[in-house]
Structure 1
Amino acid sequence: MSDSKQKQEQALSFEQAMEKLEGIVARLENGDVPLETAIELFQEGMELSRLCGGKLELVERRIEALLERGPGFATEPFDAVPDDRGDAR
C-alpha cells in the first residue's frame, strides 16, 4: 500500500474504518466482483481489520491504566500514544 493511502486509512476513526470494512465484506459476500477486484478488496479489508484491532488495543491499554489506579480514578497520558484518529494535528 502507498504511504499516502496508509496515512489516509490511519486518519479514519474506528467507526469510519468499521463502516468501510463492512462495505467491503458486503461486496465480497455478494460475489459479483471480478477476481482481481476481490483480491484487492480482501487486502484492503485485512488492512482495515488490523487498523481497527490496533485502535481497540489502544483503548484497552487506556482502560487498564485507569483500572490499575483503583478508587478515585486518575488519568495519566501514555508515552507516545497517537491520537485515536491517527492524524497529526
Structure 2
Amino acid sequence: MFQIGELAKRCGVTADTLRFYEKNTLIQPAGRSESGYRLYNEENQKQVRFILKAKELGLSLEEIKELLEIKLEATEHSCAEVKAITSAKL
C-alpha cells in the first residue's frame, strides 16, 4: 500500500488529479492509514492507468465511470454495454 503522492508519481499525474477522480467516484482509496492518509494499492494504479488511456481515446469522465462500474458488476450484459459506450469513440 502506498500514499497518494506515490500513486501520483507511478501514474504520472498530480495528487490533485487523484483527489478529483476520488471526488467524482472514479477511484476509491483501498484504505486509510492510522493518521488518516489515503492508501492505495496496485488495483488503484490499474484503475488510474485505465482512466488515462480511456481519456486518450476521447471518452468522457462519465463514460469512463460507466465502464468502471460495468467492470465491478461484471454481468452478462457487460460486453454489449461496453460496446455501446465505446463504439463511437473507436
TM-score in same-fold range (> 0.5):
no
- TM-score for both structures, normalised by structure 1: 0.30
Higher helix share: 1
Higher strand share: 2
Ranked by relative contact order (alpha carbons within 8 Å, sequence separation 6 or more), the top structure is 1
- Which structure: larger Rg? 1
- TM-score for both structures, normalised by structure 2: 0.29
